[in-house]
Structure 1
Amino acid sequence: MAKFRKRPVVIDAIQWTGQNYSEIREFCGVHPQGHGHCWYSVDDKNYIGTLEGGMEASKGDYIIKGVNGEFYPCKPDIFKKTYEAVEE
Structure 2
Amino acid sequence: MTDYPQYRARPATVEAVQFIHGASTRTDMLAFCPKANIGSPWEDTDDTDIRWFFVPCRGDGEVRDGDWILRATDGTYTVCREDDFARRYEHIARTDPQMTEADRMACEWSDYRKDCADGLDPNTFRHVHEAFKAGWEAANGKTFEPGVLR
TM-score, L = length of structure 2: 0.48
Task: Find the structure with the greater CA-based Rg.
Answer: 2
- 2:32 matched to which residue of 1? 27
Q: Distance in 2 between matches of 1:5 and 1:53?
A: 23
* Matching residue within 5, 9, 12 for 1:9: 12
Code of the residue aligned with 2:75 in structure 1: it is G
Matches of residues 6-85 of structure 1 in structure 2 within 5 Å?
6-18=9-21, 19-20=23-24, 21-29=26-34, 37-41=35-39, 44-50=51-57, 52=58, 55-85=61-91
Does the 8 Å contact 1:28/1:39 carry over to 2? no
Code of the residue aligned with 2:36 in structure 1: it is C
Tell me: CA distance 1:45–1:63, structure 2 relative to 1, closer, same or farther (3 Å): same
- Larger % of helix: which? 2
Unaligned 5+ segments in structure 2 are 42-50, 95-150
Aligned CA RMSD, in angstroms, stands at 2.0
Code of the residue aligned with 2:6 in structure 1: it is K
Identity across the alignment (%): 22
Unaligned 5+ segments in structure 1 are 30-36
Aligned length: 80
Does the 8 Å contact 1:24/1:39 carry over to 2? no
Higher relative contact order structure (alpha carbons within 8 Å, sequence separation ≥ 6): 1
Q: Distance in 1 between matches of 2:81 and 2:59?
A: 18
TM-score, L = length of structure 1: 0.77
State the SS of the aligned residue for 1:55.
coil
